[in-house]
Amino acid sequence: MFESMQVIKKLIERYDYCGAYEILKDKGMENMDSSLIINSCRYAVNFDFFNAKKILKHLSADTLKDSVCVDLLSNLEALNNGQPDVLMSELLENLKFQIVNEEYIDFLGRVYRFKEAIYKFMFIKSQLPDRNFTFQMRFLQKKEILKILRNHYKIFNNNLIFALNSYFRKYDKNTEVVDPIIRLMNSEKMNQLIELRHNSLIGHGFMGVSAEEIQRVYGNPYNVLDDFRACLISLGIEVQRYKYSIVNKLILELLEQDYNAFFKLDHSVNANFE
């Protein structure tokens, strides 16, 4: 079991909660606190925040009182409500996971989604500056944005990014904040990165993607995270960093406790049959 524990710890360090949970489940430890949090993270990294929060309600009373767990429950509630600070921070964390695990095609997919999310956020804030923004607003739907662009600004391009570029170039007045973001999003290095996505399996082709290819067009993949983070901060979005690193620390602490308790009980049961 010691070797399994080492594997579990390594999987957690790489944010592979599915793999870690499957091993614990095979050992019959799926209902212990460490496993429940791992299972919750397994749902959260797939943006199923409702079930991620639901699972945590089965934790022991002591663990539920832990400050990390209290913050995690609050975070999941905000994610369920589509709050921009936590949702964009979650997407940044998700991007980091893809780099850590060298899943570069998925990484490019997240980059494209992030670019689109930033454009949507800037547009809706420009249209409804006094409205409380969440990513659950119906105005965030592509068809709603395109309808506004057609009806109010006579922009008829059905490609959302191209249409919003036209809007910001012609009509937006918040140039001091928006212009640097637009320049980054339309920079040569970003366009080349998006082109890699288009040519991959999640785009329109079958081209492979490597760290070297990303390095060639953009530099270190972590530079993408830094650039996106700077965009969010300039938009007034509070970026929350290291969420899963903090949660992982709690998981590893609980894992040691659960491991000792489980095998103490297992040894006691076996002794009764001897």
pLDDT of amino acid 262? 74
Over range 198-227, report the average pLDDT.
Answer: 94
Residue 274 has pLDDT above 80, yes or no: no
Q: What is the mean pLDDT of the chain?
A: 92
pLDDT of amino acid 261? 77
Q: Which residues contact 167 (CB under 8 A, 6 or more apart)?
A: 123, 149, 153, 155
pLDDT in tens, 127-172: 998 889 999 999 899 999 999 999 999 999 999 999 999 999 999 8
If you write DSSP's letter for every residue of 59-116 in order, what string do you get? S-HHHHHSHHHHHHHHHHHHHHTT-HHHHHHHHHHHHHHHHHTT-HHHHHHHHHHHHH
Residue 108 has pLDDT above 80, yes or no: yes
pLDDT of amino acid 258? 85
Which residue from 96, 27, 51 is spatially nearest to 35, judged by alpha carbons? 27
pLDDT of amino acid 105? 95
Residue 21: which pLDDT band, with cuts at 50, 70 and 90?
A: very high
pLDDT of amino acid 35? 97
pLDDT of amino acid 269? 36
Residue 1: which pLDDT band, with cuts at 50, 70 and 90?
A: low
pTM: 0.90
Residue 117: which pLDDT band, with cuts at 50, 70 and 90?
A: very high
Residue 40: which pLDDT band, with cuts at 50, 70 and 90?
A: very high
Does an H or E element contain 189, and which? Answer: helix 188-198
Residue 265 has pLDDT above 70, yes or no: no
pLDDT in tens, 163-172: 999 999 999 8
pLDDT of amino acid 230? 96
Q: At what angle do helices 84-100 and 104-127 cross, to 10 degrees?
A: 160
Over range 29-48, report the average pLDDT.
Answer: 96
Residue 253 has pLDDT above 80, yes or no: yes
* DSSP secondary structure letter of residue 133: P
pLDDT of amino acid 175? 81
d(Cα 75, Cα 81) in Å, to the nearest integer? 10
What tokens appear for 132 in the block? 């409380």
Over range 234-262, report the average pLDDT.
Answer: 92
On whether the CB atoms of residues 106 and 157 are closer than 8 A, the answer is: no
* DSSP secondary structure letter of residue 140: G
d(Cα 106, Cα 206) in Å, to the nearest integer? 14
What percentage of the chain has pLDDT greater than the value 90? 84
